[in-house]
């Protein structure tokens, strides 16, 4: 498709309000239960994840040359911090609730966090009800924006370029909105939702990264109206074995552009994302109840949609507690053009079992229970012989999985300090078995058995020990009690 045709086509799609599959048949409203409180997916009306403030706190102004972290330390819950345009080279850690961190944009100029290629993380937050917006973030080695067990968060309108492993990475959070961000040049995932619930990812542009948008070991997520292009893989929903949360389920991937995701894989060798074949549009691996609807999926050379189990992934270490199959995948109407034109030998082999030659739009590898598709005749598909006919054609009745009124703020009791730090920080890079980004917990336990202080010393000032692993970011922003608690918890963990 030439550029002129593409532009006209995109305008028509937007003008038509995403008319694909616009029949009146509705998907069922999915009822979920979080923390014992039931609610129905499809909460009507636009909403944010952070409730509007009834009282305005103090506004702290940070001028170029001043410290953003100093303003955070001076702020009280309910305050806002406004950062004026300029360049700031620091790590900002927000461990308070109800903080609004806003970059001020003047004549197109943003507040820029520049890690200078030496700092590990730009913004870390563990507080509840945190909003981060309008920054430009670049040249960090670890993460652009990382959430560490904070509930009710909004990350929006940021430009993030070349921040190492992850661009935007909420971990272990409930009720979060990630929207209108532009993220590129990331070694793992531009937007990575880890072990989180009730998430909305919308209107982002992600490109030139290994993974564009990744929903990992998370539940009740909607990924819509994003532009994922020129990554290795565009949009992913999967289960990483060895993590405490064992499922990815109830994910809607709809109305996205998933275009030309053929960038050679430059993920850390041996990591899970290093196994993503270049040319992957949408990947579903061991995730359940995933709906793929109304997307424009074009120019992805391996396949437009790949659905597989863990056995098809070369870098996966199996976990007997994780169901390896992708069940109840639901593929509705999508526009699929010029996919699978230069696929990998593994897909070719699967296709040949069905005497299929040539390009592939959709490939399913492994067993599956309860999966379905509509208008299957439109697609060049292999491995979907067990798919039934879906009894609904769209998800119009499901507006958002964000929780009206917000989730309960996470309150960490002293005895939970080590566990929450492990779940919210460590599991972003370390699974219990096998390799994620860093070595497994079992390897760490063998190295530091009976020596939690030795582990504390290392996480404060890590040195590179293995050539085939990326350097570990220092965790010296954590207080001494938390560092010791998480070291003791990790070394005592049994699975």
Instruction: List the one residue out of 208, 160, 163 whose CA is nearest residue 181.
Output: 160
What pLDDT score was predicted for residue 167?
98
What pLDDT score was predicted for residue 37?
27
d(CA 241, CA 311): 12
pLDDT exceeds 90 at position 314? no
Residues 6+ apart with CB under 8 A from 7: none
pLDDT exceeds 90 at position 464? no
What pLDDT score was predicted for residue 463?
78
Domains of the chain, residue spans: 47-389, 416-492
pLDDT exceeds 80 at position 488? no
Cβ proximity of 214 and 269 under 8 Å: no
List of E strands, 379-483: 381-382, 388-389
Split at pLDDT 50, 70, 90, the class of 418 is confident
Question: What mean pLDDT, rounded, does the chain reach?
Answer: 85
d(CA 419, CA 253): 32
Read off the DSSP letter of residue 106: B
Residue 62, H or E segment = strand 59-62
pTM: 0.85
Domain 416-492 has CATH 1.10.760.10: yes
What pLDDT score was predicted for residue 162?
97
Q: For 267-278, what is each residue's pLDDT tens digit?
A: 877 777 888 999
Cβ proximity of 104 and 127 under 8 Å: no
pLDDT exceeds 50 at position 256? yes
Higher pLDDT, 172 or 19: 172
d(CA 455, CA 473): 14
Measured CA to CA in angstroms, residue 61 lies from 73, 74, 79, 123 at distances of 13, 11, 11, 17
What pLDDT score was predicted for residue 113?
98
What pLDDT score was predicted for residue 62?
98
pLDDT exceeds 70 at position 470? yes
Higher pLDDT, 103 or 368: 103
| Cβ-count burial 287-308 (b if 16+ within 10 Å, e if not) | bbbbbbbbbbbbbbbbbbbbbb
Two tokens at 225?
């109206």
Domain 47-389 has CATH 2.160.20: yes
End-to-end, the C-alpha distance of the chain in Å comes to 50
Two tokens at 212?
């564009």
Average pLDDT in the 299-311 region? 90
């Amino acid at each position: 498709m030439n550029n002129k045709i593409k532009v006209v086509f995109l305008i028509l799609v937007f003008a038509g309000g995403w008319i694909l599959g616009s029949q009146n048949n509705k998907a069922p409203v999915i009822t979920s239960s979080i923390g014992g409180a039931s609610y129905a997916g499809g909460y009507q009306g636009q909403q944010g994840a952070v409730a509007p403030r009834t009282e305005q706190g103090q506004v702290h102004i940070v001028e170029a040359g001043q410290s953003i972290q100093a303003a955070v330390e001076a702020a009280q819950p309910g305050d806002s911090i406004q950062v004026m345009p300029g360049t700031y080279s620091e790590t900002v850690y927000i461990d308070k609730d109800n903080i609004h961190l806003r970059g001020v944009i003047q004549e197109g100029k943003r507040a820029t966090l520049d890690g200078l290629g030496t700092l590990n993380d730009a913004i870390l937050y563990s507080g509840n009800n945190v909003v981060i917006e309008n920054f430009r973030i670049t040249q960090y080695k670890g993460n652009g924006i990382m959430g560490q067990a904070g509930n009710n968060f909004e990350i929006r309108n940021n430009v993030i370029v070349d921040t190492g492993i992850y661009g935007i990475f909420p971990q272990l959070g409930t009720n979060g909105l990630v929207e209108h961000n532009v993220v590129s040049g990331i070694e793992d995932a531009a937007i990575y939702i880890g072990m989180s619930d009730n998430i909305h990812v919308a209107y982002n542009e992600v490109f030139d990264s290994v993974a564009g948008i990744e929903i990992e070991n998370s539940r009740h997520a909607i990924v819509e109206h994003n532009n994922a292009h020129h990554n290795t893989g565009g949009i992913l929903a999967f289960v990483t074995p060895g993590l405490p949360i064992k499922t990815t389920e109830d994910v809607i991937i709809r109305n996205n552009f998933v275009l030309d995701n053929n960038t050679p894989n430059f993920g850390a060798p041996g990591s899970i994302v290093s196994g993503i074949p270049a040319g992957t549009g949408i990947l579903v691996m061991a995730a359940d109840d995933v709906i793929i609807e109304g997307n424009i999926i074009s120019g992805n050379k391996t396949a437009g949609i790949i659905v597989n189990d863990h056995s098809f992934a070369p870098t996966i270490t199996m976990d007997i507690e994780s169901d390896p199959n992708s069940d109840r995948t639901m593929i509705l109407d999508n526009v699929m053009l010029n996919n699978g034109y230069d696929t990998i030998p593994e897909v070719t082999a699967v296709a040949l079992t069905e005497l299929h030659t040539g390009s592939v739009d959709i490939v399913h590898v492994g067993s599956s229970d309860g999966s379905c598709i509509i208008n299957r005749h439109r697609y060049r598909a292999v491995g979907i012989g067990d798919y039934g006919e879906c009894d609904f054609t769209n998800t119009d009745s499901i507006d958002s999985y964000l929780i009206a009124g917000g989730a309960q703020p996470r309150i960490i009791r002293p005895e939970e300090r080590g566990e929450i730090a492990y779940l919210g920080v460590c599991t972003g890079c370390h699974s219990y078995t096998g390799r994620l980004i860093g070595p497994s917990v079992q390897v760490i336990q063998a190295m530091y058995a009976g020596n939690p202080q030795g582990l504390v010393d290392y996480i404060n000032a890590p040195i590179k020990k293995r050539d085939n692993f990326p350097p570990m970011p220092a965790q010296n922003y954590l207080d001494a009690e938390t560092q010791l608690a998480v070291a003791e918890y990790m070394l005592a963990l049994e699975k």
